[in-house]
Amino acid sequence: MVDYQYIYDYYSNTPHLIKWVWWVSALLAISIIVLAVYLKFIRLSLRKKSNETAKFKSEYEALLVEYLYSGDESGKLTDSQKLIINRIKDSIKTPSKRKIIVSVLYNLMNEVSGEMSDSIKTFYYETGLIYYAFERLKSKKWNIIGKGISELRRFGIDEASHVIAPFINHPKSEVRSETHLYMVNLFLFEGLSFLDNLKAPLSEWIQIQLLETLQRFDNQEICDIRPWLKSENNSVVLFALKLAQIYNQFEVKETLMDLLAHENKEIRIETIDVLAHLYGIEAKEMLKTNFNDLSLEEQISFFKLLEKLVVPDDEPFVEAYLFHKNFEIQLLALKILKEINFDKYIGFTKSSNNNKSLAMVKAVKML
Amino acid sequence: MNKKKIVLAEDNSTLSLLLKFRLEKEGYELFVATDGKEALELIESQSPDLILSDIMMPFVSGLEVISHLRNKLNLSTPIIVFSSAGQEEMVLKAFNLGANDFMGKPFSPNELVIRIKRLIGT
C-alpha cells in the first residue's frame, strides 16, 4: 500500500524550487500523454482516410473500365454506360470522392489515346464533372480558380476559353500561368493571341513551358509574331524573340533591326543573338558598322557572336580592340586573333610588356 | 488449350486494370505487377510468354527488369516497353538491353493487342 502521508510530508517539506520542478514535470508528462493520444488519433484517422480513398479508387477504376468497354460502335451511350454514369453522378456530390474520380480519369487520360481518350472525355461531360470545374472558376480563392483552369486544360475542354480568358491578367501569377498554359495547350499558336493583351510579366519558367508545349504538336505553323516583337510588355518581346529564333522567323528582320534601339538592354542583347542565329554574316557586318553605338554588354555579346562567325577579313576590326578598356572584350579579341592569325598572335605575345596583357596572353594560351 | 501468359508491370493501377480487362478478353492470362520487383518475382514464378513493362517504375525500373531477364535469367521472352514523352533515351537503352518493341504513351490498347498478337499469336 502506498504511504500517502509520507508523500504529503515529503511534498510539504520540500523547497519551493523543487515543488515547482515537480509541477513542471507533471505538466510535461500530461502534455506528452495528451499529444501521444492525439498523434495516435491523427494516424488512425489518416489511415482510415487513405484506406477509404484506396477503396473508392479501386471501385471507380473498375466502374470506369466497365464504362469504357461497354460502349458500342454507334457512339451512343449504352444502357449499362448510362447506369454507371448515374452511379457516378451521385458520388461526385461529395468533394473528396469527386477528387478521386477526377484523378482516376486524368491518370488514364494521360496513358491512352484514340477512341478511349474520347470516351473518357465524354464520361467527364456526362457525369457533370465539367460543371464542377466551371464552378471553381467562380471561386473567390485564387488557388481554386487555378485548379479549375488546370482541370479544364487537362481534359481539353475548349469551350471554357471565354470564361478563362479574363484571367490572362489575374493578379496571381499561378492563375495567369494556368490560363496561358490552357490557351496554348488547347489552341496552339492561335492560343498565343493572349500575348496581345498581356500586361503582366511572362515569367521565364512559363515561357519555357509554353515553348515546350508548342513543340509537342505536329502542326508547327506559326502565326505572325511581329505584333509581339513590338509589344510594350518587355517579357512578351523577349518571348517573341525566342519564338523568332526557334521557328526561324526570317521575315521579321526589319522588326528585329528596330529592336536594336530598344530601351531595354536585355532585349537589345537577345536581339543580337537572334540576328546572329538568323542572318549570321549579314548581321555581323551590320553590327560591326554600328559597334561604337552599342552598350558595353551589347559589345561583349557582339564579340561572342564574332567568335563563332569570324573570317580572316575581320582581323583589322579585332586588332583595334586588343587594348579595349573592358577585360572581357580584350580577352575575346585575343582569342579571335589567335584563331584567325596565329603568327600575329604570337607576335603580339612577344611584344607585350604590360603585366596585365601578359597574364591575359597566358590565359588565352590555356584555352 | 492453355492460355498464353503475360506479365504486365505498370504502376498506374487504372491502366493495368484496363489492359488486364482488354487482354483477358483476347484470351490471354494476365499477371499484374505494380513495380519492377514484383514483376521479376512474377516472371520467375510464372514463366510468361510475353512481358509488358513500363520504363519508369518504383524500386526496380523497366530497364533493370529487361537487364535481369536477359543477362541473369538468360530468357528470350519477348518484351514490349511503355515509355512516356521525353524518355527517348530510355527507349534506346531498353532496345540495347534486349527489348523487342516499344509503345509511347498515350497509346491505343487496340494497337497494343495487334503488336502482342504479332509477337506471340493468340
- The cell for A158 is 475548349
Complex ipTM: 0.85
CATH of span B4-120: 3.40.50.2300
**Does A326 reside within a domain?**
yes
Q: Kindly report the nearest CA distance between residue A72 and chain B, in angstroms.
A: 15
pLDDT attached to residue A212: 92
Chains A and B: how many Cβ contacts under 8 Å?
50
At A227-275, the pLDDT tens digits run 999 999 999 999 999 999 999 898 888 898 888 888 888 998 898 888 8
**Does A340 reside within a domain?**
yes
Q: Kindly report the nearest CA distance between residue A165 and chain B, in angstroms.
A: 28
Between CA B30 and CA B113 the distance in angstroms is: 13
Instruction: Answer positive or negative: Cα dihedral of A238, A239, A245, A250.
Output: negative
- Interface residues on A facing B, Cβ-Cβ cutoff 8 A: 57-58, 61-62, 64-65, 68-69, 104, 107-117, 216
pLDDT band at A115 (very low <50, low <70, confident <90, very high): confident
Q: Kindly report the nearest CA distance between residue A114 and chain B, in angstroms.
A: 6
**Does A352 reside within a domain?**
yes
Reduced to 3 states (helix: H, G, I; strand: E, B; else coil), residue B54 is strand
| Contact call for A57 and B13, based on CB within 8 A | yes
- B-interface mutation test, from A105, A112, A215, A218, most B Cβ less than 10 A away: A112
Look up residue B3 and give its amino acid: K
Q: Provide the chain B residues 73-102 that lie in CB contact (below 8 A) with chain A.
A: 85
**Does A187 reside within a domain?**
no
Q: How many domains does chain A have?
A: 1
Whether the Cβ atoms of residue A136 and residue A151 lie closer than 8 Å to each other: yes
pLDDT band at B85 (very low <50, low <70, confident <90, very high): confident
At A269-304, the pLDDT tens digits run 898 888 888 877 777 777 788 788 788 888 888 888
Instruction: Answer positive or negative: Cα dihedral of A62, A65, A70, A71.
Output: positive
Partners of residue B58 on adjacent β-strands: none
Range of A346's domain?
310-367
**Does A288 reside within a domain?**
no
pLDDT over threshold 80, residue A65? yes
